[in-house]
């Protein structure tokens, strides 16, 4: 694996062939940018032309964990994620992802060849960022997650993202973010007429081989 950066800011994996696409992948709460490195080599995009960017979230107190400081893209204020959400933290993380998007475009990567991906909390940021982008991106990958700030959706969504494809995968036994929460986000996005590729797997709050295979095929359709 060609790791060209591994520091407090991010882990970056360069492709084996000429670069023509970026995948910006956000880890979950308490993890770091190395968390999904084992997945990279299982994806065709890595074996060919795609640069993977795995940013590291800053450390911050997490309210539901008694204020324990850990890597997080935003604070979790309550176990009921439909309750008040950390809008300031979400906006801070969204701004950082936009910096990566702008960097990709500055290096000649077209927006439709930029994929935002994330797991759990990282997936929420990927959805929030991708749907508020000023242009259609190549796609959004939202694993074991939900749509944040749903009741403010009209305030942040950009009409340019209406055709942005979305891959959502969730575990039927997820004990952290219940399947019903993800289904509610799915239903809402479908009502907003987003092109949603939805999958449920027999797993807990994690990823599985079948999900990676489905994701690989989906990515090939977007950035082959």
What average pLDDT is seen over the chain? Answer: 94
Task: Count CB atoms within 10 A of the CB of residue 221.
Answer: 10
- Structure token digits, residue 98: 């936009």
Residue 174 annotated to the active site: yes
Q: Is 205 part of the annotated catalytic residue set?
A: yes
- Quick: pLDDT tens for 37-94: 999 889 887 777 899 999 999 999 999 999 999 999 999 998 787 778 999 999 999 9
Rounded to two decimals, the pTM is: 0.96
Q: Please say if 120 is a catalytic residue.
A: yes
Q: What is the pLDDT of residues 114-156, one digit of tens each?
A: 999 999 999 999 999 999 999 999 999 999 999 999 999 999 9
Q: CB–CB of 179/172 below 8 Å?
A: yes
Question: CB of 57 within 8 A of CB of 93?
Answer: yes
Predicted confidence band of residue 224 (pLDDT cuts 50, 70, 90): confident
DSSP 198: E
Asked if 62 and 91 count as a contact pair (C-beta separation under 8 A), the reply is no
Beta strand spans in 43-94 (E): 50-55, 59-62, 68-71
Q: What is the pLDDT of residues 172-196, one digit of tens each?
A: 999 999 999 999 999 999 999 998 9
- For the CA atoms of 83, 89, 93, 95, what is the dihedral angle to 10 degrees? 110
Residue 142: left (phi > 0), alpha (psi -120 to 50), or beta?
Answer: beta
Residue 52: give the domain boundaries.
3-223
Give the DSSP per-residue string, 13-25.
E--SS---EEEEE
Catalytic one of 35, 144, 174, 185? 174
CB 187 within 8 A of CB 180: no
CATH number, domain containing residue 183: 3.40.50.1820
Q: How many domains does the chain have?
A: 1
The one catalytic residue among 120, 132, 144, 185:
120
Work out the angle at residue 197's Cα, subtended by the Cα atoms of residues 193 and 200, and round it to the nearest 5 degrees.
125
């Amino acid at each position: 694996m060609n790791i060209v950066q591994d520091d407090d800011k991010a882990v970056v994996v360069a492709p084996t062939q000429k670069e023509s696409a970026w995948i910006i992948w956000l880890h979950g709460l308490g993890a770091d940018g190395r968390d999904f490195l084992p997945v990279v080599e299982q994806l065709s995009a890595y074996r060919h032309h795609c640069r993977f960017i795995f940013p590291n979230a800053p450390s911050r107190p997490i309210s539901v964990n008694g204020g324990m400081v850990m890597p997080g893209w935003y604070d979790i204020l309550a176990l009921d994620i439909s309750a008040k959400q950390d809008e300031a933290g979400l906006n801070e993380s969204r701004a950082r992802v936009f910096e990566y998007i702008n960097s990709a475009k500055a290096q000649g990567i077209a927006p439709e060849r930029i994929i935002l991906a994330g797991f759990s909390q990282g997936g929420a940021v990927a959805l929030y960022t991708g749907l508020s982008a000023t242009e259609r991106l190549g796609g959004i990958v939202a694993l074991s997650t939900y749509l944040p700030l749903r009741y403010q959706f009209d305030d942040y969504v950009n009409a340019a993202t209406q055709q942005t494809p979305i891959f959502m995968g969730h575990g039927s036994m997820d004990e952290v973010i219940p399947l019903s929460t993800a289904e509610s986000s799915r239903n809402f996005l479908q009502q907003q007429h987003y092109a949603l590729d939805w999958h449920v797997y027999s797993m807990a709050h994690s990823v599985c081989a079948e999900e990676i295979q489905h994701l690989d095929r989906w990515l090939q359709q977007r950035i082959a």
